[in-house]
Amino acid sequence: MVRNSAILFFLTAGLLAFGMTGCSASGHTDMSSAEEDFTPKLSEKPDVMCSIRITAGDVVLDGVLYDNPTAQGFAEMLPLTVELWDAASGFARAFDLPEQIVEKGTPGYQYELGSLAYWDDGPSIALIYEASRRETVVPVVPIGKITSDVSVFEEYGGSITVELAEDADAGSEETANGADIVESAGMAESGEAMFTVDTKVLDVINDPAFGDYGRLIFSADRSVSDDLTLGNVGDILTWYSYVDPDRTVEIANYLKEHAALGEQIFYDIYTDAEKAADPAKEDTGLFFFRGTPGEKFAITNAGGGFVYVAAMHDSFPHALELSKKGYNAFALIYRPGAQTACEDLARAVAFIHDHAEELQVDVSDYSLWGGSAGARMSAWVGSYGTAAFGEADYPKPGAVIMQYTGLSEVTGAEPPTYACVGTSDGIAYYEIMEERIRRIQAQGINAEIEVFEGLPHGFGLGEGTVAEGWFDNAVRFWENNMVN
């Protein structure tokens, strides 16, 4: 292919430009940089079309393609194995496409860490692994983002393979009893099959990939029978409705796959000494659903009547969806009991702030999410602050997202609050929730509520119900209330 020109990342006064100046020995252009203390962001979170997987040497990275015509054109070219070239030393690498993408979509000037940006004159794709610049001066089309840690590209400049995640997952298959068993990329390396709806819950709990924290995936406070399968997890999730077996399987596989890739997916929030002094703290911690490194974080808190933690339906799905949107999401496993649960949430906020560099998260404008009992925890810690529950005084959240809880108290110190509930909820009466939101609004605090006709308690993400879409509305509410 004859290229008319090449991508150049040219920085002057913090601006990133595409164009041509001097060429390197490889025939591609290089750049010089002027560092600035800011991180660019897309003004709005684009809708995601599909997931992709990028293999760079021994490293496998996850990513997404946005829902735009240019990304669709790129997806139709996959799988691709291409050579990287140094588009901007210390900032971005790029690779050439076999042909131009016909549908160009809407070009723009913004990008963020991990962005995949299409430049039509190449035609090339830029992969940005360091984001201290401001924006492009020549319009490019953001087509997606790598959601794994992109720092590998600081050193790696060889060939990469880009493929649709579903194709990567289908790349290694075995046949058992006449059925195809599809393996994920991470599990395929060790020959381990994925979980299915017929997998026994105890087999997940005891899977070696999870070490000694597998017991916390389905709540250490629930009795699990020998024959309970992933398809029937709803049987042990008291007070919950619309438990989706496919979601349960997706989450179990997500956790195992990332653990198999060597990622730390579970973090203790208490020290060994603290757990020795209070053995109940052994059953606490954070499951980490990674988004874009350096992006803001959320903590999701499941309900369970302060009797158990219904994470598989009421916090894991929310955390996974937040990670798909690029946010770093932590699902808290806490000690049942209103006071202890709030203490654990306050500790989780402290832990993430204290380990922000290690976790690669932005601690500003974080959000607390919760359903039922988890919503009360989020509201209490959000309103009273971490110091009220035994920790240092850490910043309050930028937003609290609450589902189906009949909390009525208003302190006047509430963060911006989004709430949702169904009219047929026999545990959390919707009119109580509406009244609380009105009282928060009367304090001059931003607050919203959505009420869904006919829905009962514990509908989770609400997929396939009249509540479908509430999650995206809640994310937008959080984003609209971000200050930094």
CATH number at residue 111: 2.40.100.20
pTM above 0.75, yes or no: no
**Residue 3 resides in a domain:** no
**Residue 466 resides in a domain:** yes
In a shared domain, residues 150 and 229 = no
What's the rounded mean pLDDT across residues 420-430? Answer: 96
What's the rounded mean pLDDT across residues 70-95? Answer: 88
Q: Which of 420, 419, 421, 417 is nearest to 445 (CA)?
A: 417
**Residue 186 resides in a domain:** no
In a shared domain, residues 214 and 362 = yes
Q: With beta carbons less than 8 A apart as the criterion, state whether 470 and 420 touch.
A: yes
Q: How confident is the model at residue 471 (pLDDT cuts 50, 70, 90)?
A: very high
pLDDT at 172 over 70: no
What's the rounded mean pLDDT across residues 50-63? Answer: 92
**Residue 36 resides in a domain:** yes
In a shared domain, residues 218 and 91 = no
3-state secondary structure of 332: strand
In a shared domain, residues 285 and 405 = yes
Lowest mean pLDDT among 6-10, 44-48, 177-181, 242-246: 177-181
- The CATH number given to whatever domain includes residue 394 is 3.40.50.1820
User: Running DSSP on this structure, what letter comes out for residue 300?
Assistant: E
Which residue spans within 157-295 are E strands per DSSP? Answer: 159-164, 172-176, 179-183, 266-267, 285-289
What's the rounded mean pLDDT across residues 332-357? Answer: 97
Helix axes 373-384, 338-354, angle to 10 degrees: 60
pLDDT at 9 over 70: no
In a shared domain, residues 256 and 210 = yes
In a shared domain, residues 147 and 35 = yes
* pLDDT confidence of residue 139: 67
**Residue 435 resides in a domain:** yes
Q: With beta carbons less than 8 A apart as the criterion, state whether 52 and 165 touch.
A: yes
Q: Which of 11, 10, 35, 36 is nearest to 21 (CA)?
A: 10
In a shared domain, residues 145 and 225 = no
Considering only residues 31 and 332, tell me which one the structure prediction assigns the higher pLDDT.
332
3-state secondary structure of 339: helix
Domain end position, chosen among 144, 166, 188: 166
- Number of separate domains in the chain: 2
3-state secondary structure of 166: helix
In a shared domain, residues 141 and 224 = no
The residues, any chain, with a CB within 8 Å of residue 411's CB and separated by 6 or more, are 383, 384
- Could you tell me the end-to-end alpha-carbon distance of the chain, in angstroms, rounded to an integer? 44
pLDDT at 350 over 90: yes
**Residue 105 resides in a domain:** yes
* pLDDT confidence of residue 187: 46
Q: Do β-strands 417-422 and 447-452 pair in parallel, antiparallel, or remain unpaired?
A: parallel
Q: Which of 200, 197, 317 is nearest to 246 (CA)?
A: 197
Give the integer Cα–Cα distance in Å for 370 and 130: 33
In a shared domain, residues 216 and 349 = yes
**Residue 177 resides in a domain:** no
Domain end position, chosen among 166, 193, 217: 166
3-state secondary structure of 54: strand
In a shared domain, residues 268 and 410 = yes
What are phi and psi for residue 52, nearest 5 degrees? -130, 170
Domain that holds residue 364: 201-480
pLDDT at 173 over 60: no
Domain end position, chosen among 116, 144, 166: 166
In a shared domain, residues 92 and 228 = no
In a shared domain, residues 240 and 97 = no
Q: With beta carbons less than 8 A apart as the criterion, state whether 437 and 477 touch.
A: no
**Residue 187 resides in a domain:** no
